[in-house]
Amino acid sequence: MVGQWTFFIDASKMNKMFRPTKIKKSYTPLIIMSSVAVVALLIGLLAMFKRVKTPPPQSQQEQTDIQTGQNENQTPTLPEEQGSDPLSSTTGWKTYTNDKHGFFMLYPTNLKAGSVSGNSVLGTYQVPVKGFHVGSLVFVVLKDQDLKKDALDYFNSTYTLALHPPTVTEGLSVACEIHKVPNSFVSIKSVSCEGEGGPARYDYITGKEYDVFVDGYSKGFDNQANGTLAKATDYSTILSTFRFIADVSATNPGSQVPAPFSSDQPAIKVVTIVADDSGATPSEISVAAGTIVQLTFSVGTNNVYYGGLDFRSSVVSSGTIYAGTSKTVTFKANQSFEFTPYWPASGVAKNYKIKITVQ
């Protein structure tokens, strides 16, 4: 046929041309991959074993807590401070003695001591918790177990902030510091904080029969002029001289003067009298001549005329004290005298007296 090409192909050659040839297999890559997998597995097992055997690194604070046996669920403890004798800087200081609760301490002459505070950081406006002033410090006696628990919770919450400072991310703008107070007679923990509310310091004194909380922040929430600390170190020095009378008596049998504080300063006697329209308890107190007496009149809430009471004498008078409130007067016991209670509004005298006998 014109214009067409005819091709003849040998079928045997065609089959040979397109028949697939066998590829010779190589096992080298497989061996390499298997070896790598085994090595990786061994490395992984070794790393896991090391991680199990080696505990995670501890922070410096965690290491300190373990060494001292402290954690956030335990009451923080403070190591005893070794230092110079704090009494070396107390020459000329006065002695404050609280006969009612049985403790005493030294304090600088520019301060006043013994008056009852209006409140403390442990109280509220509705339920105040009062203490005894030594300058700006307020000493709260913790004989009530519920009050003791509240004081411990309050103190430990602040103390723990010093042991475990909050991070910036936690949003607390407060810096706390633990202070060491040398005192061989009693155990004292002390902490101060600086925050938005200003500087604050709190202390916890542990006794055999009862504890004492020291409020170094509120100044009693009252307007009493008890003086200010002339030196920052006076705060710790006052605490270093704190003693429970029972402890001193045990170590100094027959001692009449709170050891080791023999002083030519006049003694201070603190007394509280509870009174109403019918009578007072106690109705008579005896003091040695020359004693500084800090006498608190506490007027009851029942059996008291709405106008309150006014305790008057030839030496000092209390002024009006309303039902459920108290007021403290201070005088030097030079002579015996009597207080007579009056209704302030009418000037009517009540039918009892309170005798002050000076011996």
pLDDT computed for residue 321 by the predictor: 94
pLDDT computed for residue 39 by the predictor: 60
Token pair, residue 349, equals: 């005298």
Place of tokens 């600088």: 108
Sheet with 292-299, edge to edge strand ranges: 280-281, 268-275, 292-299, 326-332
- The model's confidence at residue 75, banded by pLDDT at 50, 70 and 90, is very low
- pLDDT: which is higher, 224 or 340: 340
CA distance 229 to 359: 35
CATH number of 268-358: 2.60.40.420
pLDDT computed for residue 232 by the predictor: 87
**Does 85 score more than 60 pLDDT?**
no
- Report the share of the chain in percent with pLDDT over 70: 67
Token pair, residue 299, equals: 């007027």
Q: How far is CA 56 from the centre of its chain?
A: 33
**Does 350 score more than 60 pLDDT?**
yes
pLDDT computed for residue 130 by the predictor: 94
**Does 69 score more than 80 pLDDT?**
no
pLDDT computed for residue 35 by the predictor: 67
Tell me, yes or no, if the pTM score tops 0.75: no
* Of the candidates 296, 295, 299, 301, the residue with the CA atom closest to the CA atom of residue 309: 299
- pLDDT: which is higher, 79 or 261: 261
- Report the share of the chain in percent with pLDDT over 90: 45
Question: Do the domains 268-358 and 94-165+174-244 match in fold?
Answer: no
- pLDDT: which is higher, 87 or 312: 312
Q: CA–CA distance from 248 to each of 97, 251, 255 (Å)?
A: 13, 5, 8
Dihedral angle sign, alpha carbons of residues 94, 319, 223, 149: positive
pLDDT tens track for 157-203: 999 988 888 776 555 667 889 999 998 889 999 999 887 677 899 99
HEC assignment per residue over the chain: CCCCCCCCCCHHHHHHHHCCCCCCCCCHHHHHHHHHHHHHHHHHHHHHHHHHHCCCCCCHHHHHHHHHCCCCCCCCCCCCCCCCCHHHHCCCCEEEEECCCCEEEEECCCCCEEEECCCCCCCCCCCCCCCEEECCEEEEEECCHHHHHHHHHHHHHHHHHHHCCCCHHHCCCCEEEEECCCCCCCEEEEEEEEECCEEEEEEEEECCCCEEEEECCCHHHCCCCCCCCCCCCHHHHHHHCCEEHHHHHHHCCCCCCCCCCCCCCCCEEEEEEEECCCCEECCEEEECCCCEEEEEEEECCCCCCCCCEEEECCCCCCCEECCCCEEEEEEECCCCEEEEEECCCCCCECCCCEEEEEC
Calculate mean pLDDT across residues 213-236: 91
Token pair, residue 64, equals: 């300190």
Q: Spell out the residues 6+ positions from residue 86 whose beta carbon is closer than 8 angstroms to its own.
A: 182, 183, 236, 237, 240, 241
- pLDDT: which is higher, 172 or 289: 289
pLDDT computed for residue 60 by the predictor: 46
pLDDT computed for residue 248 by the predictor: 67
pLDDT tens track for 93-141: 888 999 889 999 999 999 999 999 999 999 998 999 999 999 999 999 9
**Does 348 score more than 90 pLDDT?**
yes
CA distance 305 to 276: 9
pLDDT computed for residue 235 by the predictor: 95
* Bridge partner list, 91: none
pLDDT tens track for 294-336: 888 999 989 998 899 999 999 999 999 999 999 988 888 899 9
CA distance 285 to 330: 14
Say if strands 292-299 and 309-312 run parallel, antiparallel, or are unpaired. Answer: unpaired
Domain extents in the chain: 94-165+174-244, 268-358
**Does 78 score more than 90 pLDDT?**
no
Lowest-confidence segment of 69-73, 104-108, 132-136, 279-283 by average pLDDT: 69-73
Token pair, residue 52, equals: 């199990």
Q: What architecture (CATH level 2) is domain 94-165+174-244?
A: Sandwich (2.60)
pLDDT tens track for 2-59: 444 444 444 444 444 434 444 444 556 666 666 666 666 666 555 544 443 444 444 4
